């Protein structure tokens, strides 16, 4: 830590370095693209808002995982991506990630709309093959054609399963509650995955929910498959996250989700994104602070694991 107060620090994620040559194991990457947005735009400004809010977290270390991020993570800045053409954006994202591949970062990606996850999973496939996914969202994101778009923020999970980037038998969506046609709503379950709506999820304790997720992401041999975490901030109720493009009432609470993540410690995490923060609709930074805190918690947890 240093003697600067939070508001005096450079707005990198949690004030960490920007020296990508430092060879630290974790990389925070901003992906400010929201060309696939179908309601309120503005998620392209999410990375900046999350970084700014994260400075609130630099007075000390996480209460459970007492490691200073500055020693283990680097902020890689934002990628210069086109925002008007999602296919072009995804292609350029793959080019950038391929260039960064030799550094072997464990990424936390700051979105951006949810379409970016498809590009991230395409890159992850090159290293791990098909992975499990733990997906927090108000929306199923398995539409086949979302408002005329085959590739968008409402199609990425179907796209990833169709491209065999994701093993649906080891994947789970939690918090889903938005209107959807039955085929889209049931797509993941019919493919072998599991969907738990927000009413069901909140009826479980975080420990109970964690056990369901762990059992789903475990292989038939009892080993933990490489698993990716995709956190759409609209999984939270709008009371906790008003600053998002497609809010849906009746969502998860921040304390419930935070405790749940702690109980997912033993999952074999290999990457995370946090998407759909739209700061123009936020109040007092509560959405961006929630996003920043979950990313900080994820990094702190995984740093703790590599040090044990």
- pLDDT by residue for the chain (308 residues), tens only, comes to 467 777 777 789 999 999 877 789 999 999 999 877 888 888 999 999 999 999 999 988 999 999 999 999 999 999 999 887 899 999 999 999 999 888 999 999 999 999 999 999 999 999 999 999 999 999 999 988 766 677 778 899 999 999 999 999 999 999 999 999 999 999 999 999 999 999 999 999 999 999 999 999 986 656 789 999 999 999 999 999 999 999 999 999 999 999 999 999 999 999 999 999 999 999 999 999 999 999 999 999 999 999 98
Q: Which residues contact 156 (CB under 8 A, 6 or more apart)?
A: 114, 115, 117, 118, 121, 141
- What's 139's domain CATH number? 3.40.800.10
Asked whether the beta carbons of 207 and 162 are under 8 A apart, the reply is no
**In-domain check, residue 246:** yes
Q: Give the number of domains in the chain.
A: 1
**In-domain check, residue 56:** yes
The domain of 104 spans 6-307
Distances (CA, A) of 96 to 43, 93, 301: 20, 5, 27
**In-domain check, residue 1:** no
Q: Which residues contact 8 (CB under 8 A, 6 or more apart)?
A: none
List the one residue out of 10, 28, 11 whose CA is nearest residue 73: 28
């Amino acid at each position: 830590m240093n003697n600067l107060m939070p508001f005096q620090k450079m707005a990198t994620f949690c004030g960490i370095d920007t020296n990508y040559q430092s060879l630290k194991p974790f990389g925070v990457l901003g992906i400010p693209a929201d060309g696939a947005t179908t309601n309120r735009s503005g998620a392209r400004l999410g990375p900046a808002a999350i970084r700014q809010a994260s400075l609130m977290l630099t007075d000390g270390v996480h209460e459970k995982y007492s490691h200073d991020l500055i020693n283990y993570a680097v902020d890689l800045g934002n990628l210069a991506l086109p925002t008007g053409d999602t296919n072009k954006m995804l292609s350029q994202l793959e080019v950038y990630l391929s260039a960064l591949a030799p550094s072997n970062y464990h990424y936390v990606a700051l979105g951006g709309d949810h379409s970016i996850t498809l590009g991230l999973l395409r890159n992850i496939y090159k290293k791990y093959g098909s992975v499990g996914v733990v997906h927090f969202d108000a929306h199923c994101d398995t539409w086949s054609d979302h408002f005329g778009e085959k590739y968008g923020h409402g199609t990425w999970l179907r796209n990833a399963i169709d491209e065999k980037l994701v093993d649906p038998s080891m994947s789970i969506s939690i918090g889903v509650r938005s209107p959807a046609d039955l085929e889209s709503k049931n797509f993941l379950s019919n493919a072998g995955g599991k969907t738990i709506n927000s009413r069901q999820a909140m009826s479980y304790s975080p420990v109970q929910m964690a056990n369901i997720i762990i059992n789903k992401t475990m292989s038939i041999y009892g080993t933990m498959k490489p698993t990716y975490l995709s956190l759409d901030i609209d999984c939270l109720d709008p009371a906790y996250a008003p600053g998002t493009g497609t809010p849906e009432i009746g969502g998860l609470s921040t304390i419930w989700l935070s405790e749940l993540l702690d109980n997912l410690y033993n999952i074999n995490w290999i990457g995370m994104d946090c998407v759909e923060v739209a700061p123009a609709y936020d109040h007092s930074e509560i959405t961006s602070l929630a996003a920043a805190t979950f990313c900080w918690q994820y990094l702190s947890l995984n740093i703790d694991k590599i040090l044990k």
